[in-house]
Amino acid sequence: MIAHEKLHEETLMAAKREKTATLELLKFLSQVEDRRTFAVVGYDSMFTYVRDGLGYSGAQASERVAAMRLLRKVPEVADGLKDGSQTLTSVAKLASHVRRENLNCQEATSLVLETANQTTEALEKYLLGMALVEPPKVERSKIISAELTRLTIDVEEEFMVLVRRVRELRGNPALPLSEVFRHAMKEEIRKREPKAPRDSRIPKEPSKENTEKNAAADEVRPAESGLKQSGGSGAELESLKRSRYISVRDRANTHSRANGACEYIHPVSGKRCGSRFGLQMEHLIPFAKGGASTAENLRAYCPAHNRLSAVAEYGKKKIKSFFRPRMNKPSAPSTEI
């Protein structure tokens, strides 16, 4: 049996290895985000990549992504994680405060150094005392039975006004919040769910006159495949005077084929993204290079893979100017459901 002193020494070494491994992981995650590797291998966000791709829980993934982003902004975080003056949890809490208060690099660095060696409880109190913006409570979901889940969320006063109005319209001032939400969500899905194409809408046969006009136009219109290969000049594309409009039928056919999920597939592993958030229409042959806005040339991509495709086509430097940094939103009072 190992002596107590020896066991203690080996445990200390294991703890040091764990801290070193955590720091190494954060550095790898920083590269994954910078190079958008998470999107290339089929994930729609860093959170999804860490949770599903690396096998962490949701809370663990959130901590690691937040800590990685603060490490990028404040390199001194690495020293704190190495010597134990900061923990992964404390760094994640600092990252949330820095983001919420929109602190610059110098302010964030000072905060990290000031809060070294504090317990989690002491750190939370310290950050609450410094906060200019009231920190929102964490949204939580807890399974309380086989059929019920309890949600705790933060909402604005406007939200509660809307709830009261729905209750008025439904004629029930005591209508449960779950019923209000269910009704609102069904309405939202009904309005936004891509409609399946109607087979009854069979396009009419083109008239002989239109057929002749199209044939004449084809003689002077550059081939789309040629535009894809050459890149197409701005003058050529302008002369075509094409519309970016995507017809309801083509959009519906694309969504129907995608089954409401991102169609990006990693070329090596074959993993499909499958995200159902914020799907956008992506042209296989870019519109600017002669690509048609038809279902055959369209794919339903999540924002991450739409951007990845654009970067691959036009380069990171050019595409970067089209994306704006996220703005922090103010917090709101809490309502428990």
Do 163 and 279 lie in one domain? The reply is no
Per-residue exposure over 157-194, b if at least 16 CB sit within 10 Å of its own CB, e if not: eeeeeebeebbeeeeeeebebeebeeeeeeeeeeeeeb
Whichever domain contains 310, its CATH number is: 1.10.30
Per-residue model confidence (pLDDT) at position 335: 39
Do 70 and 152 lie in one domain? The reply is no
Residue 198 is assigned to a structural domain of this protein? no
Residue 197 is assigned to a structural domain of this protein? no
pLDDT band at residue 194, thresholds of 50, 70 and 90? confident
Q: How many structural domains does the chain have?
A: 3
Average the pLDDT over each of 224-228, 229-233, 286-290, 310-314 and give the range with the smallest value. 224-228
Cβ atoms of 291 and 228 within 8 Å: the answer is: yes
Residue 201 is assigned to a structural domain of this protein? no
Cα–Cα distance, 291 to 298 (Å, whole number) = 9
Do 118 and 188 lie in one domain? The reply is no
pLDDT tens-digit readout, 13-50: 998 888 889 999 999 999 999 999 999 999 999 999 99
Residue 214 is assigned to a structural domain of this protein? no
Do 122 and 185 lie in one domain? The reply is no
Per-residue model confidence (pLDDT) at position 167: 83
Do 8 and 126 lie in one domain? The reply is yes
Do 21 and 120 lie in one domain? The reply is yes
Cβ atoms of 197 and 253 within 8 Å: the answer is: yes
Among 130, 153, 173, identify where a domain stops. Answer: 130
Do 120 and 165 lie in one domain? The reply is no
Do 119 and 57 lie in one domain? The reply is yes
Residue 213 is assigned to a structural domain of this protein? no
Mean pLDDT of 75-91: 92
Cβ atoms of 178 and 337 within 8 Å: the answer is: yes
DSSP 226-262: HHHHH---HHHHHHHT------HHHHHHHHHHHTTS-
For residue 148, list its beta bridge partners.
none
Cβ atoms of 258 and 265 within 8 Å: the answer is: no
Do 50 and 109 lie in one domain? The reply is yes
Mean pLDDT of 207-212: 52
**All residues at 6 or more sequence positions from 93 whose CB lies less than 8 Å from its CB, including other chains:** 120, 123, 124, 127
**Range list of H helices, the chain:** 4-34, 37-40, 46-48, 58-73, 77-83, 88-101, 105-114, 120-130, 157-169, 177-192, 208-220, 224-230, 234-240, 248-258, 303-314, 316-320
DSSP 8-state assignment for residue 329: P
Q: Which amino acid is at 302?
A: C
pLDDT at 136 over 80: no
Which pair of structure tokens corresponds to residue 41? 């291998």
Cα–Cα distance, 175 to 166 (Å, whole number) = 9
pLDDT at 280 over 70: yes
Range of the domain at 150: 140-192
Per-residue model confidence (pLDDT) at position 199: 55
Cβ atoms of 141 and 149 within 8 Å: the answer is: yes
Residue 61 is assigned to a structural domain of this protein? yes
